[in-house]
Structure 1
């Protein structure tokens, strides 16, 4: 199972989303994030990915979720979700991502993974979540069909 992160940077009723320019989910919106590297904690990965993808230095990242994804019945990805309102710098585009501040009420769920609309509003509202999301249809995951899920809210992490 691949271990990955997402980090949602929030300020004054807005969230920083990225439009993916390449790789899994290309053309879709999400938070900055990526694969956890060997010897790296998920928290370190989230901080590094935000810096690499949008040029912000984030601090005080708090764990907001743990999401498991399966594909055709097999474990695929375990995603650690973080959020923060503490950052330095101005977002800038990178080869991997085009950042955009979006009002929380205008998050483009129709241009995101199907599962995002189920858990992201709660995370942006300050809640924590643990979930499992099941996809079918084979690789790549972004072309598979979302079929089912389980969610648990207000989970304690760390």
Structure 2
């Protein structure tokens, strides 16, 4: 019996926990279905780009802030969205950083940027349909839940 082999696309992304006085900076993005998604600033790495460089670039376009002194917090990796059209092998890094500048997003998908008290962050996260959307997968939010509770782990396997 031969084993079926498959090649999964690799998705590399990096997001940054920007913290000010017990608040976490979240971006509001409009999803394809018209709903609003609250997420961490950051996003996909481009070909040949390090995860740290992707974090700096994406935070700038999504928030207008310049981040410096990136510090690694956690890595989340594994197969994501298996059996859907967005199936991939995910490598997602989370950092914290110093930041400066004014909130001024230039990413057309970002409809807002807001500081949210730690205790209110999880209430803004929407899980569930459509299932092929990674941002609504509860596993993606485990590192953030732990970060907000001060229980930081460096590695998460999906």
TM-score computed with the length of structure 1 as normaliser: 0.72
Shift of 1:107: 0.6
* Aligned with residue 59 of structure 2, among 42, 47, 50: 50
Of 47-56 and 110-119, more deviation after overlay is shown by 110-119
> Structure 1 residues 52, 117: CA separation in 2 closer, same or farther (over 3 Å shift)?
closer
* Aligned with residue 102 of structure 1, among 98, 103, 116: 116
Partner residue, 1:91: 103
Is the contact between residue 61 and residue 105 of structure 2 (CA under 8 Å) also seen in structure 1? no
Shift of 1:121: 2.6
* Post-superposition CA distance 1:25-80 (Å, at most 9, x none): 96211111111112321101101100011100011111111112422276432111
Partner residue, 1:123: 147
SS of corresponding position for 1:115: helix
4+ aligned runs moved over 6 Å, structure 1 = none
Note the residue ranges of structure 1 that are not aligned, 5 or more in a row.
Answer: 134-158
Is the contact between residue 6 and residue 33 of structure 1 (CA under 8 Å) also seen in structure 2? yes
> How many angstroms apart in 2 are the aligned matches of 1:102 and 1:76?
30
Partner residue, 2:125: 111
Partner residue, 2:157: 132
* Aligned with residue 33 of structure 1, among 42, 45, 50: 42
1:146-157 correspondence to structure 2 within 5 Å: none
Aligned residues: 132
Partner residue, 1:11: 20
**RMSD (Å), alpha carbons:** 2.5
Is the contact between residue 109 and residue 116 of structure 1 (CA under 8 Å) also seen in structure 2? no
Partner residue, 2:90: 77
TM-score computed with the length of structure 2 as normaliser: 0.72
Is the contact between residue 143 and residue 152 of structure 2 (CA under 8 Å) also seen in structure 1? no
